[in-house]
Structure 1
Amino acid sequence: MANSVVDQDQRLRRPAGIRSVWLGDTKVSYVPDGAVQGRPRDWLPDTTDETWAAHPEYLDASGYLVASIGGLLVERGDRALLIDAGFGPQSLPAEPGSPNGAIYGGALLDSLAELGRRPAEIEAVAFTHLHIDHLGWAWHSVPGGDRPVFAHAEYVVAEPEWAQRDLLEAGGTTKEIVAALAPRVRTVTGDQEIFPGVEMQITGGHTAGHAQYVITGGGTRLIAFGDALHSPIQVDHPEWGCVYDDDRARSAEHRRHLVAELEEPDTIGFGIHFADVVFGQVRRDGDGPAWRPLNA
């Protein structure tokens, strides 16, 4: 038991590697691209110094939260969907006054190759939202060339997110990035199946049209909840918002609903920024719900 606790604590402080789960005939895999550090009091401003003194297992040696960056590959037979596209082949150092520490991407194409997939085989890239750490490889060209990375993919975006895309420019989603995406965007106006066994559900809150994806197969559902939650510690405290949430009240309401859904039987969660515990289940332990990582 002691060794499993130590291993879980280590996983909370490192970026995720490739991890996969099977839902019947559907394979779902985390595709690593990079990571970002978050200053804990800045990222989760409802927390206190006492919060983190009581939970040092979430912080790396520099005192940062560690958030993975990547995508979620959904494979069914020969078909493949990617949810989110990482940060891309770039890095930024920590900036004084920013909620973030260092951020980097670049590994997603190698991760896809390790999973046996070429970018040309991805039929669609579906976005949870249009922040730059979810768009990277969708607007960058093939390294050393000028062709799109996902040559045959359409880009699936919730309609309210696309309609209010100009609001995202302050967060780094520039007009140049939007222009690169625009010719291939298909908007979805409501809850809708976008791939066999994959339904987009528009949740809002974090951004105007933030979406989650519910993937079902083999009697199990997986909820890829995007940036509704940034750290597993929020599962215990869904009232704690993130500095990047556009609508704090709506985000908190959705988190409470989401945590209750994740407690239901035969339900798995996928937290794209959840360090190396991206796949997990919510189980009650003591006073409230808690994230229980899968050993996928």
Structure 2
Amino acid sequence: MWLGDTKVTYVPDGDVRLRPRELLLGSDDAVWAAHPEYLDDAGHLVASIGALLVERGDRALLIDAGFGPRRWPAAPDGPRGVIHGGTLPERLAHLGRRAEDIEAVAFTHLHPDHTGWASHPLPDTGRPVFPAADFLVSAPEWAPYEPPAGPDRPEEIAALAPRVRTVEDGQEIFPGVRVRIGAGHTPGHTEYVITSGGRRLIAFGDALHSSIQADHPEWTSAFDDDPARAAEHRHRLVADLAAPGTIGFGIHFADVVFGRVRLGGDGPAWQPVDSTEPTDA
């Protein structure tokens, strides 16, 4: 999708199957019975995993980095079912973009389904996937991993540390791309607002886990660090996504990752946008 001179592309890596009632607290069986389109044949909510490629001329930024070359079985309880990644490098190649040319990977937060390929080397060569990239993390998100907590960092976080550069709210990290911190899911959960050609796209990470939350921002996620703050932020975000000229990018939204919010109408508030649709509509 083009926003002025900036091209944004969803790069799939894998997916995760989620137990819907355990994930979205406040939902119930009646809701999901009325909306089977969100679920697979086993009754799991299907959530995509991947990254957003932002290109301007010869320059390229990646927002998040998928899950990486691995697969976890379903957790015995709680919201998470089977999760796997593995396709992001080949998808980048298919798009004609070398991972070596990515100048920075900007994380929405530091959960493993977002740090993936930045923490794990290529299985066949052992080489880093993004050898030239800085890893951009909001200062409050990175704060728990600074010394003296550093030695207790999880292995995946420690792998990122030598190349982490912290960023602040409002900072421009790439032409037309600014940081917006909206804690609640994690202490420094970050959105990226991309503005170009008079249009705006908000890559909102895990502030919303499913497009159905555009109709129910009061439904908090079981993964939210601070449920009250997360719900408060979701209400503001949904209202912001309804503003004219605004598109949202929901990294976990399966086959409807790009969309607009239309409030007060018939049908779901999240209205998918595909790459052929004019973005100034």
Normalising by structure 1, we get a TM-score of 0.88
Question: Which amino acid in the other structure matches residue 246 of structure 2?
Answer: T
Offset of residue 63 of structure 1? 0.3
- Which residue of structure 1 lines up, in the alignment, with residue 278 of structure 2? none
Give CA-to-partner distance per residue, 1:131-156, whole Å, 9 cap, x none: 00000100111222232110000000
- 1:77-156 equivalences in 2 (<5 Å): 77-156=57-136
Instruction: Give the total of aligned pairs.
Output: 271
Distance 2:139 2:160 in 1: 14
- Which residue of structure 1 lines up, in the alignment, with residue 15 of structure 2? 35
Offset of residue 179 of structure 1? 1.3
1:206 to 185, 196, 202: 185
Question: Which amino acid in the other structure matches residue 140 of structure 2?
Answer: P
1:193 aligns with 2:193: no
Give CA-to-partner distance per residue, 1:19-53, whole Å, 9 cap, x none: xx100110000000000000000111211111111
Give CA-to-partner distance per residue, 1:107-148, whole Å, 9 cap, x none: 000110111111100000000000000001001112222321
Distance 2:36 2:26 in 1: 17
Secondary structure of 2:25's match? Answer: coil
- Which residue of structure 1 lines up, in the alignment, with residue 163 of structure 2? 184
Offset of residue 285 of structure 1? 4.3
Distance 1:164 1:289 in 2: 38
Give CA-to-partner distance per residue, 1:144-194, whole Å, 9 cap, x none: 22321100000000000000248xx9xxx9621111100000001322100
Identity among equivalent positions (%) equals 66
Distance 2:271 2:102 in 1: 31
- Which residue of structure 2 lines up, in the alignment, with residue 17 of structure 1? none
Query: Does the 8 A contact of 2:145 with 2:153 survive in 1?
Result: no
Distance 2:104 2:37 in 1: 37
Offset of residue 77 of structure 1? 0.1
2:30 to 29, 50, 56: 50
The RMSD of aligned alpha carbons is: 1.7
- Which residue of structure 2 lines up, in the alignment, with residue 265 of structure 1? 244
1:223 aligns with 2:239: no
Larger mean Cα displacement after TM superposition, 173-182 or 31-40:
173-182
Moved over 3 A (4+): 285-289
Distance 1:165 1:132 in 2: 15
Gap runs ≥5 in structure 2: 276-281
Query: Does the 8 A contact of 1:236 with 1:288 survive in 2?
Result: no
Query: Does the 8 A contact of 2:48 with 2:251 survive in 1?
Result: yes
Normalising by structure 2, we get a TM-score of 0.93
Distance 1:211 1:287 in 2: 31
Query: Does the 8 A contact of 1:130 with 1:165 survive in 2?
Result: no
